Chain A
Amino acid sequence: MKLAETKKGFEGQVTAVSGNHHVLSRLIGIGIVEGSRIKVIQNEKKQPVLFYCRDSVIALGKKDCEGIEVEGGLQA
């Protein structure tokens, strides 16, 4: 599923990242690569998705979250 569609509490890892070269470069720079473990901490309408990745809280615009495929599930 896409990162944009995940709900708060989702835990899993990134399986694919798509976007133009600059977006990719930017995402990698902040810690998002294939295989990165993430945990979604907030995903509200019309707001950037907030998630934990590599020790940090990252805010990422909805549009760019459309290009990130993740697998995993909700944690109790």
Chain B
Amino acid sequence: MNQTIALLGQPNSGKSSVFNGLTGSHQHVGNWPGKTVEQKTGSFRCGNETIEVVDLPGSYSLSAGSDEEVITASYIESGKADLVAILVDSSQLERSLYMCMDFIGICTPAVLILNLMDVAESKGIEINVAQLEKRLGIPVIPFVAADSKRYGALKEKLQHALSDGKVIDQNVLMQFYTEDADMDFAAVVSGQPESTQMTKEKRAVLELEKTDRGLMQSGKQKYACIDSLVKETVKRKEAEAELSSFDRKALGRRSGKWMALGFILLAMMAAMLVAAPVMGLGVMIPGILETPLKNLMTAGHVWDPLAKVVYVVLPNILFFAVAMSGFVIGVTFVFSLMEDIGYMARISVVFNREMEQLGLQGKSVCSFLMSMGCNMAGIAGSRVIDNAGQRFLTMILVWSVPCGTLLSLAPMLSTIFFGPAGGFLILLFMLVITVCSMFLASRLFGRKLIKEEESYGIVMELPPYHKPKWGHIIRMTLQKVWDIFSRAFKVIFLVSIVFYLLSYPWFGTESPLSFIGQKIEPVTSFFGMSWEMFMAYLSSMVTKESMLGVLNALYSNHTDMVSAAFNAKSLGITEGLAALLPQVISKPQALGFIMAIVFNVPCTMTVATTFQETHSKKWLGLSALYYIGFSLVLSCIFYHIGLLIW
């Protein structure tokens, strides 16, 4: 059986960098059982031993009630780890040692990793490592997570620590409890049962912390212990407690918001820059592949339904996947960068109030803005949100945001039916409804996703700015985007095949979809949709662009809905279609239809990405149901309002 090391640390302690540095590509990402919190495990080899590493969710302590903290605490107490590596920010020992204090009394061997030693040194902080080791009774390892050359030595030290099995000397902390005359600590200790996981003293501390008063007293003891350790082992210059002039602007009530919007806009442009060549490459795929593949299929006399999968469906979904990946890479990269240098925390502060109304944290604003480019990017970008519930809710609300494609499709369609002024008016309506939908979804899902204990206001540390760790950021971005795309591509391929099978004219000119569509037309017409429009509505769940092709094919009696739906080149509205649509679709129908399309479930790739990020079928299903319901209700309302007007 391999030995296991668990990484424990507060946010900003550099835990994920250390995890990545240790495990490299040997990682597995899943969810903690029954939770939406991400579980990262991995392994590394040292000598001829394989050592497993578990990255525990970042939290400020082991006792508060969030999912992250409950998971971390119960994992630590379970004794599953053979060694716990506690990470602290050496430049902020006074605060970051708290996690270490919370750990004292647990009988699992531990090491203390003093991360960000370079930052501490630049701030003139000197740490007497030997003295700290002596006091705590465990190995203390000065470290710089960004420096890849240090990992070899770290692995060896961790391996030694595993075989030495040293546990923190609990007296370092417990003496403060016993010396406090206000609390009768000895009496509480004697009432505790013996166990192998933690000492009687630790149990007594946990017992004390059950009351508010005891919790505060205990907190004071832990900080008193930290203060004495720091006094003994750290030499430092008095720090200047002032904000830099940049931070004064970045955190200002108005200037901070403008600055954040400016940076997000810049980020979007940077993402586009990264995206453009990749998109160009994507656009060429169908053109390059389609004809040779078609010839190949014809030459091989391949059965027509199968041949079409190969030369129509495959090149076009490849196009979608590649084209969108550019933007997602760009956004993920820029977001990771802003998080890494510490700016994201400032955005969280300035947009705190606005996002709080949705039950979210300020960082969510970035995801929403990016979603106007591409929903997938918004989903991928939600990674920077550190609370699982809030992150999940952000993703569900991202689905409300009309993406770049919809923002161009919807006004185009509107203009055909209602002229330029009408098109503009509908665009305004869309934005208002987007905000309403976000509030509605937040009310519906928020209470279930975010536990009441977690719905407190912002409590966070603003990390000092750091130099970006480029290697780390690039590695994380590529790995993330690859994860998303392998999943998204698989899903969209499957969904496309299903859609294809349903829309293939198996019975002469009729496909299963058109057959069912015509049968249920009495129902869909209540929502203002003819069966052709309903088909387009359904196809917009695959990709938004396919909706136009489907409308065109069905209304101009082309039986080949397959080529139409998957032909990415038909992006944009041809003159023929612009002339045709007003003849076959009435104004009220068009109004309802546009709303239905805009607020429908996002494209399959976005849904797949959301699943990749949350691993929750239940919430994904519920949220899909919500958006289908919401868009149909909107369609119905707007259609009937339209009937009154025209």
Contact = CB atoms under 8 A, between A and B. Distances in A.
Interface of A: 17, 20-31, 33-36, 39, 41-42, 44-48, 50, 52-64
Nearest to A39: B241
A62 B220 CA distance: 23
Interface in B89-111: 91-95, 98
Given A30-B95, A31-B98, A34-B216, A59 B60 contact: no
The 8 closest A-B pairs by CB, nearest first: A61-B457, A29-B61, A29-B60, A28-B219, A25-B64, A54-B95, A57-B462, A22-B453
A27 to B, nearest CB: 7
B432 interface: no
Contact of B215 (A21, A50, A56, A61): A21
Given A22-B65, A25-B65, A33-B223, A54 B94 contact: yes
Given A35-B220, A45-B253, A47-B352, A27 B65 contact: no
27 contacts: A17-B216, A20-B453, A21-B212, A24-B212, A25-B63, A25-B209, A25-B215, A26-B60, A26-B456, A28-B61, A29-B10, A29-B60, A33-B216, A33-B219, A36-B223, A41-B241, A46-B253, A47-B349, A52-B241, A54-B92, A55-B92, A55-B94, A55-B95, A56-B461, A59-B349, A59-B458, A61-B456
Contact of A47 (B64, B253, B454): B253
Contacts of B209: 25
Given A29-B98, A36-B223, A47-B352, A24 B215 contact: yes
A50 B251 contact: yes
Given A41-B242, A46-B353, 15 more contacts: A21-B212, A21-B215, A26-B64, A26-B459, A28-B216, A28-B219, A29-B59, A30-B459, A33-B223, A35-B220, A45-B253, A54-B94, A55-B92, A57-B461, A61-B458
Give the interface size class of chain B: 35 or more
B181 interface: no
A41 B223 CA distance: 23
Nearest to A42: B251
A50 B349 contact: yes
A60 to B, nearest CB: 6
B459 A27 contact: yes
Given A17-B216, A47-B253, A56-B92, A64 B456 contact: yes
Contacts of A21: 65, 212, 215
A56 B348 CA distance: 16
B457 A30 contact: no
Contacts of B220: 33-35
A48 B209 CA distance: 28
A63 to B, nearest CB: 5
A55 B91 contact: yes
Given A35-B220, A61-B459, A55 B63 contact: no
B288 interface: no
B401 to A, nearest CB: 24
A58 B345 CA distance: 11
Nearest to A21: B212
Contacts of A33: 216, 219-220, 223
Given A29-B63, A55-B93, A47 B460 contact: no
Contacts of B1: none
B299 interface: no
A70 to B, nearest CB: 15
B253 A30 contact: no
Contact of B460 (A25, A53, A58): A58
A30 B251 CA distance: 20
B421 interface: no
Residue from A26, A36, A39, A50 whose CB has the most chain B CB atoms within 10 Å: A26
A52 B459 CA distance: 13
A45 to B, nearest CB: 7
B237 to A, nearest CB: 12
B71 interface: no
B22 to A, nearest CB: 25
B457 A48 contact: yes
B597 interface: no
Nearest to B461: A56
Nearest to B210: A21
A17 B348 CA distance: 24
Contacts of A42: 243, 248, 251
Contacts of B65: 21-22, 25
B352 A56 contact: no
